[in-house]
Amino acid sequence: MKTHSHQQSQTTDSTAQNSYAEYLTFLLAGEEYGLDIMSVQEIQGWVEPNQIPHVPHYILGVINLRGEVIPLLDLRCRLSLSSEKNQLNSNTVVIVAKLSTGETIGMVVDAMSEIYKIEKQQLKPSPDLNNDVNANFLKGIATIDEKLILLLDVDQLMDQSAYESCQFKRQQCKFTSH
């Protein structure tokens, strides 16, 4: 994975020195998406989740991350992209991210791409899509080397009621050893 800096001009002004953010980019259904790297906790290979009944369709189940049980989202399904569930391969990874609430989630993506430093003025607002729910997932859009990168808002990907549903199911299903 490469790290790229896409800054339009160098400046010594201290306010301009922090005018960029880093984004971890990944592929989903042939498109490139990004998450603010500050929300990314880790990246790991595909892990088969334990299924939980009666959760939203985009939640594959839960996984055990060093003793912490976290929900695993099918990001293709959550974003209403073409579903290729049975086409997991060696490039498929799980991005583990922290929500602003402190909760942790895992997201299945097709492949990792790159890390970009993007100046804030390079970010374009997400287009008005007549209040389409998928537009709420977008933090903005960046253009890097003639390609569009859709920047996701990790907090919008997992609604609180779905997280609470997973948390309740996990508490119901805790086992004790004899």
pLDDT in tens, 107-166: 999 999 999 999 888 888 877 665 554 567 888 899 888 889 999 999 988 765 555 555
The pTM of the full predicted model, rounded to 2 decimals, is 0.78
With a cut of 60, say whether residue 168 has pLDDT above it: no
**CB atoms < 10 A from the CB of 32, how many?**
18
- Per DSSP, 56 falls in state -
Domains in the chain and their CATH numbers?
3-7+19-172 (2.40.50.180)
Please give the order of strands across the beta sheet that includes 147-152: 3-6, 111-119, 20-28, 31-36, 147-152, 138-144, 123-124
